[in-house]
Amino acid sequence: AQVKRLPSPIPHRSGYRPNPPDVIWDCYEEQVGGCWTWTKSLDRNGYAQVSVYGKATRAHQIAYLLTYGEYPADLTINHTCAVRHCINPDHLELMTPGDNSRDAASRKPRRIECKYGHRNYGTSPSGYRWCRTCDNEKKRRRNRERSR
């Protein structure tokens, strides 16, 4: 089984000094809720990002690896605090990707209106939700265009 490990050092180019993994412990601020928020670069999704031995890596993964060691590659690291740029190892836990997605979805408030403000939702057996009002309007437009 494959496991996630800390990146390996790469040979040095002249004048190039790569960051070792433990550089992350110098780049956070403790917050009131116990989060250790990253003070450096964030990726486009809001996760803490650090360069370790010349490779861009998410800082929470490095924090987990430094604290708990390697983990199976088929698992992901979940932020129990829901703060993407938190690197506190106490706020990180391993989950399957499916459990991680369900956990994230459970934190989002369920929409009660469509993007046009209608509150008339329908739900399919698989859980897909749609706006009945918008759907009926679309069917009426289509029928009008066909009858022309």
Each residue's pLDDT tens digit, 38-96: 999 999 999 999 888 778 889 999 999 989 989 999 999 999 998 999 999 999 999 99
Q: Look up the pTM and report it.
A: 0.69
Structure confidence at residue 11 as a pLDDT band (50, 70, 90): low
| 36 within 8 A of 90, measured Cβ to Cβ | no
| 87 within 8 A of 38, measured Cβ to Cβ | yes
Give dist(CA 82, CA 48) in Å, integer. 13
What are the backbone angles phi and psi of residue 70, rounded to the nearest 5°?
A: -65, 160
Neighbouring residues of 12: CB distance < 8 A, sequence distance ≥ 6: 18
Locate 99 and state its tokens.
């459990």
